[in-house]
């Protein structure tokens, strides 16, 4: 039995939509001939989603587990109805459909999904551990990858939890590498998080000695991580939901010229205008954060007469997994920071 390569055969409601856009999908683990069945042991939840769930659960691990399992039980996938975002998984390949061609994995291989949990059929039998500081949970469960789904074999030189933390945000440094040119002034908002630190590295590398990198955090811990990385020419702490304060600071640091490229990596809503106002006319804003309201971006930029190029944070860029992993291999400082902060002990 063969299904649609994009997974539409799994959509239960509303009919005619694709899995990501649907409300509910079929998460029975009976394998179609063009699907891959994976035994899942770890979920890495999107930062915006996990932040919202933690807030709703008031930081209680049991309540976090209940909310997450409730989402999957009702929707057939981990698709947070509040933030609209998901995450990704690590697991072991259990079975491969007979019609899957040109495949480079086999049963028993360890892989990380590079498609969102918002479109992935998932069953959670049990949540074994909640790791709030890492946005990760250990589970017993299974998932389905469609024929069109992308994944990466886990690298042998990294702890699986470390690789998962990096691959979860792989699109951000890859897009940064594409967008930043020599001599650019680059502002990274949320620069002390996973995606932010990786973007700092690529921004510094691509802007070169004639460029300038501004790293903005919020909490003291985030500020300290940016400083520790040594990747920002200027480090400052501000609330990204206060656009005028951000604009004034960036204007001060750039003598009024503002940023050529702004990368938004924050995991809370309401930061769209800070990103837009801190960017020069005809500059580029890359909204990697899934907390972004693109209505706010479009109407907000129009409202202040700002002509900027705004890019949706597509989590997929060609070669993004290799680029993200190579950042840690190239940077001993970031490797140490990621192991300490995001990998399991």
CA angle 83, 88, 91 (to 5 degrees): 150
pLDDT band at 213 (very low <50, low <70, confident <90, very high): very high
Check whether 345 has a pLDDT greater than 50: no
Superfamily of domain 171-342: NAD(P)-binding Rossmann-like Domain (3.40.50.720)
Mean pLDDT to the nearest integer, 27-50 = 95
Question: How much is the pLDDT for 1?
Answer: 86
CA dist 241 and 228 (Å) reads 25
Region of residue 59 (phi > 0: left; psi between -120 and 50: alpha; otherwise: beta) = left
Strand order in the sheet with 279-287: 234-237, 212-217, 185-189, 259-264, 279-287, 309-312
pLDDT digit string, tens, across residues 153-202: 999 888 888 888 888 888 999 999 999 999 999 999 999 999 999 999 99
Contact 33/1 with Cβ under 8 angstroms?
A: yes
pLDDT band at 344 (very low <50, low <70, confident <90, very high): low
Q: Which residue has the higher pLDDT, 67 or 100?
A: 67
pLDDT digit string, tens, across residues 285-326: 999 987 889 899 999 999 999 999 999 887 777 889 899 999
Mean pLDDT to the nearest integer, 32-44 = 96
Question: How much is the pLDDT for 268?
Answer: 87
pLDDT digit string, tens, across residues 258-282: 999 999 999 888 999 999 999 999 9
Sequence spans of domains, the chain: 8-154, 171-342
Contact 202/173 with Cβ under 8 angstroms?
A: yes
Check the CA dihedral 91-96-100-102 and report its sign: positive
Residue 284 token pair: 């580029």
Question: How much is the pLDDT for 90?
Answer: 94
Instruction: State the chain's mean pLDDT as an integer.
Output: 94
């Amino acid at each position: 039995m063969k299904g649609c390569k994009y997974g539409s055969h799994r959509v239960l409601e509303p009919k005619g939509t694709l899995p990501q856009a649907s409300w509910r999908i079929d998460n029975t683990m009976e394998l179609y001939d063009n699907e891959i069945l994976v035994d899942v042991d770890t979920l890495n939840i999107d930062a915006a989603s996990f932040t919202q769930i933690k807030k709703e659960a008031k930081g209680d691990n049991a309540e976090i587990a209940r909310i997450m399992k409730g989402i999957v039980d009702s929707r057939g996938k981990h698709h947070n109805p509040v933030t609209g975002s998901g995450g990704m998984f690590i697991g072991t390949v259990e079975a491969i459909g007979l019609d899957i061609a040109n495949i480079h994995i086999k049963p028993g291989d360890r892989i990380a999904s590079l498609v969102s949990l918002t479109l992935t059929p998932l069953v959670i039998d049990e949540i074994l551990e909640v790791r709030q500081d890492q946005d990760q949970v250990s589970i017993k469960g299974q998932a389905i990858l469609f024929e069109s789904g992308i994944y990466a074999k886990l690298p042998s030189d990294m702890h699986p939890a470390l690789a998962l933390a990096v691959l979860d945000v792989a699109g951000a440094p890859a897009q940064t590498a594409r967008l930043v040119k020599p001599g650019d002034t680059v502002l990274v908002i949320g620069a002390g998080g996973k995606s932010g630190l990786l973007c700092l590295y690529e921004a510094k590398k691509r802007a070169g000695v004639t460029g300038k990198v501004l790293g903005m955090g919020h909490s003291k811990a985030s500020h300290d991580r940016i400083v520790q990385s040594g990747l920002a020419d200027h480090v400052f702490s501000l609330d990204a939901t206060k656009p005028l304060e951000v604009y004034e600071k960036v204007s001060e640091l750039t003598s009024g010229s503002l940023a050529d490229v702004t990368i938004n990596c924050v995991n809370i809503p309401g930061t769209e205008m800070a990103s837009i106002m801190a960017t020069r006319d005809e500059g580029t804003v890359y909204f990697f954060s899934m907390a972004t309201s693109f209505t706010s971006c479009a109407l907000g930029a129009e409202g202040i007469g700002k002509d900027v190029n705004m890019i949706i944070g597509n989590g997929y860029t060609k070669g993004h997994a290799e680029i993200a992993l190579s950042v840690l291999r190239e940077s001993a400082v970031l490797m140490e920071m990621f192991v300490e902060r995001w990998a399991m002990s």
